[in-house]
Structure 1
Amino acid sequence: MAKVAFIGLGVMGYPMAGHLKAKGHEVTVYNRNPQKAQGWVSEHGGLSAPTPADAAKGQEIVFACVGNDDDLRSVTTGENGAFASMAKGAVFVDHTTASANVARELDAAARQGGFGFVDAPVSGGQAGAENGVLTVMCGGEAETYARVEPVIAAYARMCKLMGPAGSGQLTKMVNQICIAGLVQALSEGIHFAKRAGLDVEAMLEVIAKGAAGSWQMENRGKTMNQDKFDFGFAVDWMRKDLGIVLDEGRRNGAQLPVTALVDQFYADVQKMGGNRWDTSSLIARLQR
């Protein structure tokens, strides 16, 4: 069992940290809102700390899952950041969906500090975090990754090293590219089926077993047909992620016309007031 800290107790981090504690790891948590951290301790046990630096002190592994690049820099290299107190030979594992650039930046800072770094963004959403079945895409050194993989297994059904620092973030970008295209296609398919007078649920049941089948169809098709979007991965978060994707695409020369178009469709959903709707709400803009 490992001595670990978890920084960031949002909809993903809160249950992920809980799985670590349930598996017997010694867990100290930090959250920007201390009441949330105290609530976690009341529910799961363990300890809370007043700053990221305090949380990281003396830990073997420090996990983080925060909002964006700036949030990540704040809890690592900022004032009272975790990097200031991390022990030599410890490992920092970042589950934030962030840029590949910040992953490489923090990897370099970690090397200078004498500890390891793994960028490890996740896929599976809030339900995946709560059920402990996330997919984790990692970047870093093989030896460092091998040390943290058994601990990550507390909340993952799939965890894989994709290459050097930044590779986890790049893999997550591919994940978001694919999701954006799939959800738009599914939205158009359901919209078309409604206009054509088909029984949408029957249609989904049939084509889900063929070549068109996908996780999105199985898990979001029915709720899209029912115009239910008050759950899941928020449009605001998806736009943040697609912004990272498009920035990286400009840097590496990748052509992403569908991704750029779907990003603008999500902007339309935001204008409709759907900032916190699930990403499957793309269909709503077709039905205005």
Structure 2
Amino acid sequence: MARAVPLMECYAARIVHVGGAGAGQTTKMANQMCIAGVLGGLSEAIRLAQAADLDTERVFEAISGGAAQSWQMDNRWSTMTKGEFDHGFAIDWMRKDLGHALDEAKRLGLSAPVTALVDQFYARVQSDGGARQDTSALIRHLPEGENR
């Protein structure tokens, strides 16, 4: 690994050795599970603020400095509220990654119900023609409530 570090430093902001062969892949699966969950929560939070006729920029200002803050919030809140999804990490890629994560969880005897649910929502995005949209496009495809 030591010989590879100088090369990896050319493209990686952080290099962490997490274990033997396959450990990095499993770590990537864990990362994608976290991102999917965060984007699900952000989507619901933004829709709640919009349905309540709140100024979403003020809501962002209020909550982004606290425990809810994340890279996804900082970098996707504004584009999600504007309906801009022609950038970033494609839904197709996320579904591939979540499929691997769900398979690995099953192999390890674990359940991953939140990941499975968000993956179902991403499947809707794909079937609605959003396969190449950013993963934050999830906000457009969550199920509507009883009054919507």
TM-score past 0.5 threshold? yes
The answer to whether structure 1 residue 201 and structure 2 residue 57 are counterparts is: yes
* Matching of residue 247 in structure 1 with residue 103 in structure 2: yes
Q: Structure 2: how far apart are the matches of 1:157 and 1:179?
A: 18
1:272 aligns with 2:132: no
Question: How far apart, CA to CA, are the structure 2 residues paired with 1:259 and 1:196?
Answer: 27
Alpha-carbon distance in 2 for matches of 1:256, 1:287 = 20
Q: Aligned partner of 1:230: which letter?
A: D
**Aligned position for 2:28:** 172
Task: Say which SS state the counterpart of residue 160 (structure 1) adopts.
Answer: coil
Letter of the 2:90 counterpart: A
Q: How does 1:102-251 map to 2 (within 5 A)?
A: 145-251=1-107
Shift of 1:155: 1.1
- Asked if 1 retains the 8 angstrom alpha-carbon contact of 2:121 and 2:142, the reply is no
Which gives a bigger RCO, structure 1 or 2 (Cα 8 Å, sep 6+)? 2
Q: Is the 1:220–1:280 Cα contact (8 Å) retained in structure 2? A: yes
Residue 287 of structure 1: CA displacement?
Answer: 7.8
> 2:85 is aligned with what amino acid?
F
Return the offset for 1:286.
3.3
Query: Going by fraction, where is helix more abundant, 1 or 2?
Result: 2
The separation in 2 between residues aligned to 1:287 and 1:247, in whole angstroms, is: 25
- How do residues 24-103 of structure 1 correspond to structure 2 at under 5 angstroms? none
Counterpart residue type for residue 200 of structure 1: T
Matched residue, 1:55: none
Q: Percent identity?
A: 56
- The RMSD of aligned alpha carbons is 1.1
Q: Which has the higher strand share?
A: 1
How far off its partner does 1:272 sit? 1.2
Q: Distance in 2 between matches of 1:151 and 1:181?
A: 32
In structure 2, C-alpha distance between the alignment counterparts of 1:252 and 1:259, rounded to whole Å = 15
TM-score by length of 1: 0.49
For the pair shown, which has the larger CA radius of gyration, 1 or 2? 1
Q: Which runs of 5+ in 2 are unaligned?
A: none
| Runs (5+) with no aligned partner, structure 1 | 1-144
